[in-house]
Amino acid sequence: MSELLDVIVKAIDDRLGEEITVLDFKNQHPFYDYFVIATALNHRMAKSIIDQVEEKVIACGGQIRAIDGNSDSDWQLIDCFEVVVHIFVGSERQVYQLERLWGDLPRIEVQV
Protein backbone atom coordinates (compact mmCIF):
# COMPACT_ATOMS: atom_id res chain seq x y z
CA MET A 1 0.00 0.00 0.00
CA SER A 2 1.14 3.53 -0.63
CA GLU A 3 1.92 5.95 2.19
CA LEU A 4 -0.89 8.24 1.03
CA LEU A 5 -3.36 5.36 1.12
CA ASP A 6 -2.25 4.47 4.67
CA VAL A 7 -2.71 8.09 5.78
CA ILE A 8 -6.20 8.25 4.28
CA VAL A 9 -7.38 4.96 5.77
CA LYS A 10 -6.08 5.97 9.21
CA ALA A 11 -7.75 9.40 8.94
CA ILE A 12 -11.09 7.78 8.12
CA ASP A 13 -10.73 5.30 10.97
CA ASP A 14 -9.73 8.07 13.40
CA ARG A 15 -13.06 9.79 12.68
CA LEU A 16 -14.98 6.52 13.12
CA GLY A 17 -15.71 5.87 9.47
CA GLU A 18 -17.18 2.40 9.03
CA GLU A 19 -16.83 -0.43 6.52
CA ILE A 20 -13.61 0.93 5.02
CA THR A 21 -12.97 -0.83 1.71
CA VAL A 22 -10.04 -0.29 -0.66
CA LEU A 23 -10.30 -1.25 -4.33
CA ASP A 24 -7.06 -1.60 -6.29
CA PHE A 25 -7.26 0.19 -9.65
CA LYS A 26 -3.53 -0.02 -10.40
CA ASN A 27 -2.97 -0.97 -14.04
CA GLN A 28 -6.71 -0.47 -14.61
CA HIS A 29 -7.09 3.29 -14.74
CA PRO A 30 -4.67 6.02 -15.87
CA PHE A 31 -5.72 8.66 -13.33
CA TYR A 32 -5.87 6.87 -9.97
CA ASP A 33 -4.61 3.74 -8.23
CA TYR A 34 -7.15 3.22 -5.45
CA PHE A 35 -10.75 3.85 -4.45
CA VAL A 36 -11.37 4.08 -0.73
CA ILE A 37 -15.03 3.63 0.20
CA ALA A 38 -16.37 4.25 3.70
CA THR A 39 -19.63 4.92 5.51
CA ALA A 40 -20.45 7.72 7.94
CA LEU A 41 -23.41 7.46 10.29
CA ASN A 42 -24.58 11.02 9.59
CA HIS A 43 -23.70 14.22 7.73
CA ARG A 44 -21.77 15.70 10.65
CA MET A 45 -19.57 12.61 10.82
CA ALA A 46 -19.05 12.70 7.04
CA LYS A 47 -17.89 16.33 7.29
CA SER A 48 -15.51 15.39 10.09
CA ILE A 49 -14.07 12.53 8.00
CA ILE A 50 -13.65 14.78 4.95
CA ASP A 51 -11.92 17.47 7.02
CA GLN A 52 -9.60 14.92 8.66
CA VAL A 53 -8.64 13.32 5.35
CA GLU A 54 -7.95 16.73 3.81
CA GLU A 55 -5.81 17.81 6.78
CA LYS A 56 -3.79 14.57 6.94
CA VAL A 57 -3.22 14.36 3.17
CA ILE A 58 -1.84 17.90 3.08
CA ALA A 59 0.25 17.28 6.23
CA CYS A 60 1.97 14.29 4.58
CA GLY A 61 2.79 16.30 1.46
CA GLY A 62 -0.11 15.06 -0.64
CA GLN A 63 -2.48 17.16 -2.68
CA ILE A 64 -6.24 17.45 -2.99
CA ARG A 65 -7.46 17.88 -6.56
CA ALA A 66 -11.13 18.32 -5.62
CA ILE A 67 -13.76 17.72 -2.98
CA ASP A 68 -17.21 17.08 -4.43
CA GLY A 69 -20.43 17.23 -2.47
CA ASN A 70 -21.45 19.50 0.36
CA SER A 71 -22.26 19.00 4.02
CA ASP A 72 -25.81 17.85 3.13
CA SER A 73 -24.73 15.35 0.47
CA ASP A 74 -25.19 11.64 1.08
CA TRP A 75 -22.17 10.90 -1.14
CA GLN A 76 -19.02 12.99 -0.93
CA LEU A 77 -15.82 12.46 -2.86
CA ILE A 78 -12.24 13.55 -2.26
CA ASP A 79 -9.89 13.31 -5.24
CA CYS A 80 -6.32 12.97 -3.95
CA PHE A 81 -4.90 12.18 -7.40
CA GLU A 82 -3.74 8.55 -6.93
CA VAL A 83 -6.45 7.85 -4.33
CA VAL A 84 -10.14 8.72 -4.69
CA VAL A 85 -12.15 8.64 -1.47
CA HIS A 86 -15.91 8.03 -1.41
CA ILE A 87 -17.77 8.78 1.83
CA PHE A 88 -21.39 7.68 1.96
CA VAL A 89 -23.89 8.67 4.63
CA GLY A 90 -26.05 5.90 6.06
CA SER A 91 -27.65 3.50 3.60
CA GLU A 92 -26.71 5.58 0.52
CA ARG A 93 -23.75 3.27 -0.05
CA GLN A 94 -26.16 0.41 -0.75
CA VAL A 95 -27.90 2.47 -3.44
CA TYR A 96 -24.77 2.89 -5.58
CA GLN A 97 -22.98 -0.36 -4.65
CA LEU A 98 -19.56 0.68 -5.93
CA GLU A 99 -18.01 -2.51 -4.59
CA ARG A 100 -20.41 -4.53 -6.72
CA LEU A 101 -19.89 -2.30 -9.77
CA TRP A 102 -16.12 -2.81 -9.51
CA GLY A 103 -16.39 -6.34 -8.09
CA ASP A 104 -13.78 -7.78 -10.44
CA LEU A 105 -11.02 -5.57 -9.00
CA PRO A 106 -8.76 -6.77 -6.21
CA ARG A 107 -9.44 -5.49 -2.72
CA ILE A 108 -6.71 -4.48 -0.35
CA GLU A 109 -6.99 -5.66 3.23
CA VAL A 110 -7.31 -2.64 5.52
CA GLN A 111 -5.33 -2.69 8.76
CA VAL A 112 -6.60 -0.07 11.21
70-95 mean pLDDT: 95
pLDDT digits (tens, 9 = 90+) for 7-43: 999 999 999 999 999 999 998 878 899 999 999 999 9
Q: What is the pTM of this model?
A: 0.93
pLDDT digits (tens, 9 = 90+) for 42-56: 999 999 999 999 999
Write the CA distances from 95 to 42, 63, 82, integer angstroms.
16, 29, 25
Q: How far apart are CA 58 and CA 20, in angstroms?
A: 21
83-102 mean pLDDT: 95
Q: How is domain 3-108 classified at the CATH fold level?
A: Beta Polymerase; domain 2 (3.30.460)
**Domain ranges across the chain:** 3-108
Q: What is the pLDDT of residue 1?
A: 59
